[in-house]
Every structure is written in C-alpha cells, then in structure tokens.
Amino acid sequence: MKESRLGAWLALIIGTLYFVVPLIGTFEFSLRMRRGTYSFDAYRVVFSDPRFQASFGYSTVLAIATIIVGVLLVVPTAYWVQLRLPRLRPVVEFLTLLPLVIPAIVLVFGYIRIYGSSSLIPFTANERSTDLLLTFSYVTLALPYMYRAVDTGLRAIDVRTLTEAAETLGAGWPRILFTVILPNVRMAVLSGAFLTFAIVIGEFTMASLLSRPAFGPYLQLMGANRAYEPSALAIIAFVVTWACMGLIQVFGRGKAAARRPAGR
C-alpha cells in the first residue's frame, strides 16, 4: 500500500500549503507598514485605535450577553425535553436547525421589518433596544451549536437519575437545575460558549444592517480605508478564533477524558 501513502502525503502537503500560505501572506503584509522594513507598526496603530477598542469591547460585551441568554434559554429547554417531554424533541431539534437553514441576512431582514420603529415591538426605536435585538439575533445564530453541545452533555450524564436522586433528597426544581444539572454540563456549556464567542466577534451582516458599532463593521470599515491595518486585524481575528477553538478542546478533552474509560 505504499503508493497510497505517497498520495496521502501529497494531499496533505498541498492542503497545508493552501491553508498556511494565506496566513503567512497576511502576517507578512501586516508587517509592511513601515517603509522598507518589517515592523509591528500596523498592530500598534490598531491597538491604540479607540475605535478598535470600542468595537472589540462592544462585541465582547454582546458575546457575553449572548452566551448568558443562550444558556438560560437552552439549558432548561434541553433539560425538560430530555426529562419530561421527549415527544417534543423532534420539534425542538427542527427549530434549532432553522438558523442553519435560513441565512442570517434573511433573518435580520425579517427583524428589521417586524421590529422596526413603526411596529408593535419597536426594537429598533433606540440604541439600547437595538442592542437587545442584536443580542437576540446572535442567540439565534448560536442556537444550533449551543443546543447540540448542551444536549450532548445532558445525554452523557443521565439526567433522569440525577434529578430523581436530588428529588428524593428534597430539592425543588430550580435548585436541581442550578446546583445539580448546570455544574455537570459546565463543560458542554463552556464549549458552546467559546464557539458562540467566536461567532459573535466575527459577525458582520447583522451588526451592519442594524447599524451597531460591532467589531465586524469596524473591520469592514478598516478594509475600505486602510492598507496595512486590515491584515493586522485579520491576524488578530485568526488568533482569537484559534484561542476559542483551543479552549473548547481543552475543556472538551477534560470531559472526554473522564468519559473515555467507559469504552471507546
């Protein structure tokens, strides 16, 4: 089977080239700001740009808000569906797949029309409420991943037995949810949270159409007006994404390692 090994190496090398070269190219470009020499000037400019700090901060705050709302929404739902309402499972799963089927731009189009300033629930009436709408939009985007992570995590811990054990010890359901269930799905929630963070930080379409000062629109603005800062920003974005995925692995592996002894 030696020839297949050669082909495998070939595919791997070509793949590696395709994926690594753009990163190298971007990094190299970002170092070109100062004429004639390589420097980190572009990064310096970016980090000291108040708009960078403002938009990155804004997106971070929104990401955290999204994660919190998402967890509060998803965990009880997944819990109740698994425990008491198994017949609802297909419906819930269908709903959590909808954000993957309906493009984000279509969704935000709908939000603008339904929740515009002249409608019943005028989310876009002022800035704060638009922020709220954007948060809910992000929750919708992150819903499929969040739900799948939490659902898998719950399935791995035998929710029914834990709940019944807690009940026989006298706990009411809010206490069960917060002190028994939630800690045990912490890992799943965390990995869903990091994925959500990565999604929100880089999101452009919804923030732009709702005219909010998020990181995505800031990136686009930089790209339109500046030469070297965009590459620096791209590298920063890549590092942030990598960090999020890496943290998911770290937390996911902790959980997986605990599960592995039970069999492959």
Partner 1 sequence: MVQGTQVETRPTLAARLMPAQFSWAWLGVMPFFIFALMFLILPTAYLVIGGFQDADGNFTLSNIRDLFEPSILSAYWISIEISVASAVGGAVIGFFLAYAAVLGGLPSWIRPTLMTFSGVASNFAGIPLAFAFLATLGRTGLVTVLLIKFLDFNIYSTGFNLLSFWGLTLTYLYFQIPLMVLILAPALDGLKKEWREASSILGATGWQYWRHVALPVLWPSIAGTTLLLFANSFGAIATAYGLTGSSLNIITILLYAQIQGDVLHNHNLGYALAIGMILITALSNGGYIWLSARSERMRR
Does position 164 interact with partner 1 (CB under 8 A)? The reply is yes
Nearest approach, Cβ of residue 25 and partner 1 (Å): 3
Cα distances (Å, whole numbers) of residue 103 to 49, 92, 138, 153, 204 = 32, 19, 13, 27, 13
Pick the binder of partner 1 from 51, 53, 167, 260 (CB under 8 A): 167
Does position 238 interact with partner 1 (CB under 8 A)? The reply is yes
| 156 versus 209: smaller Cβ distance to partner 1 | 209
Give the residue from 214, 211, 230 showing the smallest Cα distance to 222: 230
SS (H, E, C) 111-163: HHHHCCCCCCCCHHHCHHHHHHHHHHHHHHHHHHHHHHHHHHHHHHCCHHHHH
Q: Name residues contacting partner 1, limited to 103-162 (CB under 8 A).
A: 103-114, 136-137, 139-140
The pattern of x and - marking residues 73 through 102 that bind partner 1 according to CB under 8 A reads xx-xx-xxx-xxx--x---x--x-xxxxxx
Does position 8 interact with partner 1 (CB under 8 A)? The reply is yes
**Cβ atoms 47, 233 nearer than 8 A:** no
| 28 versus 127: smaller Cβ distance to partner 1 | 28
Does position 241 interact with partner 1 (CB under 8 A)? The reply is yes
Nearest approach, Cβ of residue 125 and partner 1 (Å): 16
Please tell me the distance from the alpha carbon of residue 120 to that of residue 126, in angstroms, as a whole number: 14
Q: Name residues contacting partner 1, limited to 178-197 (CB under 8 A).
A: 195
Please tell me the distance from the alpha carbon of residue 197 to that of residue 59, in angstroms, as a whole number: 9
Q: Name residues contacting partner 1, limited to 31-70 (CB under 8 A).
A: none
Does position 219 interact with partner 1 (CB under 8 A)? The reply is yes
